[in-house]
Amino acid sequence: MNELSKDAPSQVTVDEAGAGQRIDNFLLRILKGVPKSHVYRILRSGEVRVNKGRVGPDVRVQVGDVVRVPPIRTAPPASERVAVVRPFKPAILFEDDALIAVDKPAGLAVHGGSGIALGLIEQLRAARPQARFLELVHRLDRETSGVLLVAKKRSALTSLHAQLRDGDTDKRYLLLVRGPWRAQERVVDAPLFKFATREGERRVRVDAGGRASTTIFRLRERWRAHVPPLALLEAELETGRTHQIRVHLAHLGHALAGDDKYGDFAWNRELAKAGLRRMFLHATRMTFRHPGSGEAMTIESPLPAELAAFVAKLGAEK
């Protein structure tokens, strides 16, 4: 790949590793250390060109495309910066020659950027220097734990992306909410609009001009006598929007335990004193077709120990 310049526009030719990626994700991959907000700013300004034409963030690049990247101050090369990285030994739920299913821990970003030197994918690549291709199939929020897919082949990435785009996957999450939850099943159809704050932080709100978004919530357990009342829910995503579960819950008036963006901050402090010091959102199951064989696969991740212990504590209070 061409070397990027701080002082003049750079011409980057897309190779096999970048083929099929959205231009925003391609830029985030090659512009290590550059905040996402800046990447989207140069896209909106028209400074980024593909084959000499202006593009939006959803355009996908192909092998041989020439991407013009404007002068930009990137983070120094890894050899010039000191990064303290905890030993990375991911729990592997499944692996073959096409993909890896990782049990992502809470607190670990899936990729670097926005002040994070190394995310899960960078650490995975560093731990497997012989691997020619490792790319995230989808994303989980930093504080969300659970099933995360990584493709080991371009063909696998393309197949799984198509399944996600066409709604052919089934993703389930477990979460804890505040308030009396009465319905056994509740479908939320509320369009979501993504925006950035003045500080460049990514946020989402329910907005009629947003993208169609559907979440199905199902009751798993509830503690009516607890103060405040609590409910353990399973969420099924029919769409995969940024912060979808968190924003839909806030829209319903049910705070997600430990959510530091859309939840109840005072309640979060009480939860921390009671032993819950993270967001209670866990990607527990994902069903999809294997990108090679086409066979239906279900990957499951049990509740992490800290979440299971908190639920057990609630059960003991009944």
Give CA–CA dist 12/18, Å, rounded. 11
Is residue 145 within 8 A of residue 104, CB to CB? The reply is: yes
Structure tokens at 64: 């041989």
Q: Which residues are catalytic?
A: 141
Burial 214-227 (b: 16+ CB within 10 A, else e): bbebeeeebbeeee
Give CA–CA dist 262/126, Å, rounded. 34
Q: Which of 63, 53, 61 is nearest to 23 (CA)?
A: 61
Give CA–CA dist 34/56, Å, rounded. 18
User: Which residues have C-beta within 8 Å of that of residue 18, sequence separation ≥ 6?
Assistant: 26, 29, 30, 61, 63
